[in-house]
């Protein structure tokens, strides 16, 4: 249970940085609304990371998270953004940066929450092969001469 709490805290902090930087700095939203947006978006996407992520590809999950970020930030942003400003651009920006952050977060979640089979690492010790010939061209010429002499003997 503790690993789920830590994963949610990491998610909450990441979404909080995104929300506070976009809506707090640029759109001057109140701190109560920013915390509410952060909690709703991080909770909704965390549920997806826990239940849906292990059943699909991480790239598809990142696209799904981008769509979820866009929809959630568009709906919640319309409550925060002034009526003169469209909530579309902040929602697209949040979806873009959120999807980039989710790619890294998915690696963290798959490593910490979901038991993925660990593959054995690639071999790291290699051996160099050496040849006995110092002049391989001379060996090739001598091999051709040997073949020619064998062919001459067979013809006779």
Pull the structure tokens for residue 13.
Answer: 């902090």
Q: How far is CA 153 from CA 34, 139, 143, in A?
A: 94, 21, 15
Angle, CA of 60, 54 and 41, to the nearest 5°: 70
Q: What is the pLDDT of residue 13?
A: 96
- Positive or negative: CA dihedral 29, 35, 41, 42: positive
Mean pLDDT per 10-residue segment, the chain (156 residues): 91 95 86 93 92 84 92 90 82 94 89 67 66 66 71 70
Q: What is the pLDDT of residue 30?
A: 87
3-state secondary structure string across 109-137: HHHHCCCCCCCCCCCCCCCCCCCCCCCHH
Q: What is the dihedral of CA 84, 86, 91, 93, to 10 degrees?
A: -90
Q: What is the pLDDT of residue 131?
A: 61
Q: What is the pLDDT of residue 134?
A: 65
Q: What is the pLDDT of residue 80?
A: 80
Helix-strand-coil percent breakdown of the chain, rounded to 5?
75, 0, 25
Is the pTM for the entire model greater than 0.85?
Answer: no
Q: What is the pLDDT of residue 52?
A: 86
Could you tell me how far CA 59 lies from the centroid of its own chain?
Answer: 7
Q: What is the pLDDT of residue 84?
A: 75
């Amino acid at each position: 249970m503790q690993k789920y709490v830590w994963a949610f805290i990491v998610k909450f902090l990441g979404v909080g940085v995104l929300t506070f930087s976009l809506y707090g700095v640029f759109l001057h939203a109140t701190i109560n609304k920013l915390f509410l947006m952060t909690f709703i978006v991080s909770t909704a996407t965390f549920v997806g990371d826990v239940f849906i992520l292990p059943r699909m590809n991480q790239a598809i999950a990142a696209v799904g998270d981008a769509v979820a970020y866009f929809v959630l930030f568009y709906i919640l942003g319309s409550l925060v953004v002034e009526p003169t400003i469209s909530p579309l651009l902040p929602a697209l920006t949040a979806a873009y940066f959120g999807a980039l952050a989710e790619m890294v977060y998915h690696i963290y979640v798959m490593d910490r929450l979901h038991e993925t089979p660990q593959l054995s690492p690639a071999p790291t010790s290699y051996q160099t092969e050496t040849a006995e010939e110092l002049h391989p061209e001379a060996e090739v010429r001598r091999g051709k001469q040997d073949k020619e002499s064998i062919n001459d003997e067979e013809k006779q």
